[in-house]
Structure 1
């Protein structure tokens, strides 16, 4: 009997190849898309959850309150961690980390390792990064020791064992012993480095005494709590700790710290202090995955129930000869599962072929292959069978319930209930599709807004090189300035989009008092403001004519800083006193606000000072003509002036735009999956339109004989679907507007959703639906009416 069921199923599928293709292809594409999104969501949720002690690891965050503002930061004072460990037995271990680029040399091999990190000796007690060579417990216990990742060790030592050997680090060529090799850190961790240098190297040699500086913030601190310790209870004890240890100093400086414990598992997606991932994006993609799966399942149900009338006589005859309702339901349910298993096979093929492209699109290696984890195959199989069973229940029930007397007397009509169900499902499909179109338009409009917004400074044709304060930097700058393809050169410690230092500052406010604030600070030279096109709206820029005072007693501030200190106009801030990092002087100019961070963040108060001994970044404005030869000339000048330092550069516009890379990837992923969802909806609509046309073949023939035009017939066949798309538009618009408005809240500078966005989305959906339906409608309208009248 089962063999017979399979025969009937395959014959039926082959007889209706078009419907079968739409069913299987639509379902396979839907499951593949849902599978990829699910892998992406699972990967985002997996960050730092692989550590065995992850439930007990917390990042120590700081809120610093000054008379001017409250600063929410992920870094802590260098002194906090060791003193917390000494005062609180609840803390089992700690690890401070500090990201820092270092120059690494071994013989003739040299690289500027930007992904290096200083780490405390307890690092491997907290984090489970797999060790290949050396002892994890002692590898970072001494000064001038380091651990390399497997790929980094291979870069310097080849296949030889590096443990016990040394490399030279920093511009001073300090020998550092390699005490261990670890596997490359996985993608799904927020604590990532290629080289770990012992923290004692920094605190005892490079910056001796930093452990005792309570007011010096720069370490990211992780605490491992003992089993059973309640984080909130421990957190409540921190204010008394700070008051006891540093209360007097805080009172003098008027900077009061509050310590907070952030669970390690929540840092990547939930922390607003150092945004990396986005839980909103995870929610959105989860909804999109569900939508795509629902659309694919709706197609299956729609097409199967629509075709049910064709099999009415088959059901009637089989019932007459003794087939039971349960047997018929089982057969049709089995056919449903069979189609889904075919879709499963196609899904496997699509997943294997498309996974590399998906990894590239997401910007992460989400998976190396679906066969690398048998759980993936099991999930796909269970999903396919589950869809087959759930989606096949209704068609099986409908088909098996036909009354043989009714269907054998003549043509069977599915009735209003079947039509109502199909219309409801079409509305659901297109509501989802229109919502996705609206979301896609908003995402791309926001991305375009961020990348075309006037930033308030010039970033085009600017080459940036990090000299790391090499002794040869001055001779390099002088040599480059004389090159014909170079327009100008400036040195600084910071560039827009590249981070900045926070500085304890005292600025004279509108009341004449020195007001404490922690302000962003750029160290620059005399050419920085001019080269970057930063506008001075009050006072003057730094000038070489005033070199003696401008290098020691002058400051520029931006408009936001002037507002912070109570000045109603920028001009009022000119000549006001300041104290900052051992310098005292007066404000000589106010800059127009410019976006020195991404548009996700509001413009903050900014100060600028000339500090010629602290400038490591060379910004070179080049001409677009003969760019290749200009770059080659700059490289040759570099090699002459700084032969021991590897040559590398980046263009500022590309570097600044990297801040939006995650949003760009989100937009591309969203667009691709939205297109897939719309495509699957169109497949279903094409099948329904084809079937609807087939059902009305004789009616079309009669109308044509009576003089109906092709246009009239096309309109007749299309108008019902147009009404459904219109209803979908009314449902989708408010839902999409609500969710995308919430998504936009993550951006400090954002678009307003205009009326034309839903209007455009609705128009696109209507055009897509009309194109899909009209294809079948026109085909039917142009057919020979004689053949149409013979169809029944």
Structure 2
């Protein structure tokens, strides 16, 4: 029986090649969209599950309630970890990590080699690191690898870069240079393709070393220095919720005095290791790039809508061709086929077509993977398409799509009366069905909503791109100094760079413009309560920094080479302290920390400028005179950047022959501040275009249906003198009404959704009414172009052909 159904379904699909092709194209495009989004979404799940006892691993997060507006941070104070292990039997093991971030690369070289490299993703970790995270080793053993002072373990990738095919175990590396130089012994090499994880170290240096590790182990303050990432492994049977409820009392017991001294309150919370990648929105100081579960939900909902639009097309096209199959149905019923048999047959056809669309969507998606990876900035491989979860989801999607798309046509077609059909009298009465109108309105709602969203997202991205950053990002080059030894040569390097043709200004800074500045100070006005401090970020710059980057000085003077306690502040700082601009110069700010008092004198006020994400309001900032900065910032005026960079590198090598010349263009770094929104805009444009394409196929099917139903009416009207324009108007007016209804429904829905999205931006656009009008007009034009083709075709048909059977 099933074999018979299959044969009939195949013959019917093959007989109606045009309808089958349109249906197949619509379903295939919808399924490719779904499969692409589904593959990307699945790739974002399953992070950190490869570690043993991953369900027992947690990360601490901190909320500094008053002075940080309740924004959580992944960092905690250094002494908290081992105090928790000592106080709570529920905590089986702890590990602290200090992350040497992307903007804080370390200089590494093999001992007795002149070639050195700046390496990112360096971790400083306790010796317990591999007790929590069981990375497989290809050289050495994880047990005790970080116990010995000045020991280091490398990723397989870094080991191959430094040593090629030679063994790295027990060889030595030099970290840094000059006074900060450390000689390290390699105690192991671990595999760095060990599943999906937010922990992606290039190398791990033991905390039991000099420098930063020594300072971390000396810090005993439970309130400040929240830069350490703290991970916990709970004992078997321990309740994470019960442990978390004990943390306020724990923090009060150990840190009440410290918190009172700095004037803010603080809370600690547990976050499951396996939740970090998807549930860390708004958490600062992440160790690696994370995703957002709400972003994935949005993409999955978009995929669902596109697939529903494809299903609607199938329904419309199938009902449009109903009369073509009426005689077949009548004959089958006359020889004994019941309605259930026919329903199964038509469902079989739709499911077969849907499954075929699912099959061909795999190679189509594989071909589009490079584009998809570029669009989403993902790294999805071809094998991901054959993951059993993806294949099961694709099979389920194919069957469900076929069932949903084919159910309504199956019910309608199987209801045809054989007597009327065989007499030549067919009246399916589908043209005025309310369900058809609802489906069409839904298509238009999706199209208008997506078009509106794309316009608003594009506006916000352009607004971010054109927004005044408070500095001139164009033609700014930041050259990394990187080590203490190189920073000591700042004046010599600066003098050399000033002689390079094309360079107009040179200055120094500890952070290049737009780089996030983590460091902050708790400050008060003179005579203020030390417990009521305001957090002010700080950065060290050379005296001519403002001129180089193009930041305006509102009042006062710039820094001088002999300044010590003299500082510049931005306008946000004097606003935070309620200091009038005309009285700012000469005002004092006080830092009180552990009984010591430091005084800063304001000598100038700069305009506000962005040094963090555009989703954050500009915070107070203090600039002090820095003689040994971490970056050289230079302004260039040239069209020959390749020659300029070569000349700069040559100049660099005359002073720092063994240190790499590393630079970045500031405008490229600024683009990263709104990269997420830009990526969302591109994704929206692509999938909106595909949704509109599918909708156009559906409209083509609908006008075919209407023209089929009204062909005799059209013939009579033409015989009576109706013009082509009159016939086209007759066929299109109902669609225009449906576009109007969809416009009225889609506009408030799109406004609400995009208004919620824009709330993440302190510097956001206002949603204008004309955005929705444009979306409606675009939908209207697309409708007219799609419908008019078939309408004109029906209008110019010879009426004799439609009336000769009467």
TM range (shorter): over 0.9
Specify the alignment match of 2:604 in structure 1.
589
Specify the alignment match of 1:151 in structure 2.
157
Which residue among 493, 505, 509 is the counterpart of 2:510?
A: 493
Q: Which stretch has the larger CA shift, 615-624 or 392-401? A: 392-401
Partner Cα separation in structure 1 for residue 736 and residue 630 of structure 2 = 64
Correspondences of 1:629-708 after superposition (within 5 Å):
629-708=643-722
Question: Is 2:225 aligned against 1:219?
Answer: no
Partner Cα separation in structure 1 for residue 9 and residue 141 of structure 2 = 63
Specify the alignment match of 2:573 in structure 1.
561
Partner Cα separation in structure 2 for residue 446 and residue 668 of structure 1 = 13
Q: How much has 1:621 moved relative to structure 2? A: 0.5
Q: How much has 1:764 moved relative to structure 2? A: 0.8
Partner Cα separation in structure 2 for residue 473 and residue 231 of structure 1 = 50
Q: How much has 1:369 moved relative to structure 2? A: 2.7
Partner Cα separation in structure 2 for residue 247 and residue 561 of structure 1 = 28
- For the 8 Å contact 2:614–2:673, the answer to whether it is kept is no
Specify the alignment match of 1:102 in structure 2.
106
Specify the alignment match of 1:322 in structure 2.
336
CA RMSD of aligned residues (A): 2.5
Q: How much has 1:479 moved relative to structure 2? A: 0.3
Correspondences of 1:395-414 after superposition (within 5 Å):
395-414=409-428
Partner Cα separation in structure 2 for residue 163 and residue 512 of structure 1 = 55
Specify the alignment match of 2:776 in structure 1.
762
In 2 relative to 1, CA 676–186 (structure 1 residues): closer, same or farther, beyond 3 Å? farther
Correspondences of 1:281-296 after superposition (within 5 Å):
281-296=295-310
Specify the alignment match of 2:757 in structure 1.
743
Q: How much has 1:617 moved relative to structure 2? A: 0.5
Specify the alignment match of 1:233 in structure 2.
242
Partner Cα separation in structure 2 for residue 187 and residue 21 of structure 1 = 41
- For the 8 Å contact 1:526–1:610, the answer to whether it is kept is yes
- For the 8 Å contact 1:185–1:193, the answer to whether it is kept is no
Specify the alignment match of 1:9 in structure 2.
9
Partner Cα separation in structure 1 for residue 71 and residue 707 of structure 2 = 66
- For the 8 Å contact 1:507–1:515, the answer to whether it is kept is yes
Specify the alignment match of 1:78 in structure 2.
78
Alignment partner of 2:185: what SS? strand
- For the 8 Å contact 1:63–1:70, the answer to whether it is kept is yes
Alignment partner of 2:479: what SS? strand
Alignment partner of 1:612: what SS? coil
Partner Cα separation in structure 1 for residue 530 and residue 163 of structure 2 = 59
Partner Cα separation in structure 2 for residue 699 and residue 309 of structure 1 = 16
Alignment partner of 2:98: what SS? strand
Partner Cα separation in structure 2 for residue 121 and residue 492 of structure 1 = 34
Correspondences of 1:411-430 after superposition (within 5 Å):
411-416=425-430, 419-430=433-444
- For the 8 Å contact 2:520–2:535, the answer to whether it is kept is yes
Partner Cα separation in structure 2 for residue 204 and residue 630 of structure 1 = 36
Question: Is 2:35 aligned against 1:35?
Answer: yes
Question: Is 2:283 aligned against 1:273?
Answer: yes
Correspondences of 1:713-728 after superposition (within 5 Å):
713-728=727-742
Correspondences of 1:523-562 after superposition (within 5 Å):
523-542=540-559, 544=560, 547-548=561-562, 550=563, 552-562=564-574
Q: Which stretch has the larger CA shift, 373-382 or 602-611? A: 373-382
In 2 relative to 1, CA 418–96 (structure 1 residues): closer, same or farther, beyond 3 Å? farther
Specify the alignment match of 2:90 in structure 1.
90
Partner Cα separation in structure 1 for residue 691 and residue 23 of structure 2 = 14
In 2 relative to 1, CA 748–226 (structure 1 residues): closer, same or farther, beyond 3 Å? farther
Q: How much has 1:702 moved relative to structure 2? A: 3.2
TM-score, length-scaled by structure 1: 0.93
Question: Is 2:267 aligned against 1:258?
Answer: yes
Partner Cα separation in structure 2 for residue 55 and residue 748 of structure 1 = 37
Correspondences of 1:462-501 after superposition (within 5 Å):
462-468=476-482, 469=484, 470=486, 471-501=488-518
Which residue among 150, 172, 185 is the counterpart of 1:177?
A: 185
In 2 relative to 1, CA 134–62 (structure 1 residues): closer, same or farther, beyond 3 Å? same
Cα deviation, 1:626-669, whole Å, max 9, x if unaligned, reads: 32221111011112211111122110010111122222222212
- For the 8 Å contact 1:169–1:175, the answer to whether it is kept is yes
Partner Cα separation in structure 1 for residue 725 and residue 275 of structure 2 = 60
Specify the alignment match of 2:251 in structure 1.
242
Q: How much has 1:335 moved relative to structure 2? A: 1.4
Partner Cα separation in structure 2 for residue 554 and residue 419 of structure 1 = 79
Alignment partner of 1:43: what SS? helix
Partner Cα separation in structure 2 for residue 318 and residue 440 of structure 1 = 49
TM-score, length-scaled by structure 2: 0.92
Alignment partner of 2:657: what SS? coil
Partner Cα separation in structure 1 for residue 262 and residue 152 of structure 2 = 36
Alignment partner of 1:201: what SS? coil
Partner Cα separation in structure 2 for residue 206 and residue 491 of structure 1 = 28
Partner Cα separation in structure 1 for residue 242 and residue 147 of structure 2 = 31
Question: Is 2:581 aligned against 1:570?
Answer: yes
Q: How much has 1:411 moved relative to structure 2? A: 3.4
Q: Which stretch has the larger CA shift, 353-362 or 412-421? A: 412-421
Cα deviation, 1:187-243, whole Å, max 9, x if unaligned, reads: 843222221222222568664754445533321112222233333432333344334
Partner Cα separation in structure 2 for residue 261 and residue 288 of structure 1 = 32
Cα deviation, 1:317-352, whole Å, max 9, x if unaligned, reads: 121122222222222222122211221222122122
- For the 8 Å contact 2:478–2:663, the answer to whether it is kept is yes
- For the 8 Å contact 2:535–2:620, the answer to whether it is kept is no
Cα deviation, 1:103-149, whole Å, max 9, x if unaligned, reads: 11123542100221212222222234443332223222222222222
- For the 8 Å contact 1:457–1:534, the answer to whether it is kept is yes
Specify the alignment match of 1:112 in structure 2.
118
How many equivalent pairs are there?
A: 785
Q: Which stretch has the larger CA shift, 264-273 or 220-229? A: 264-273
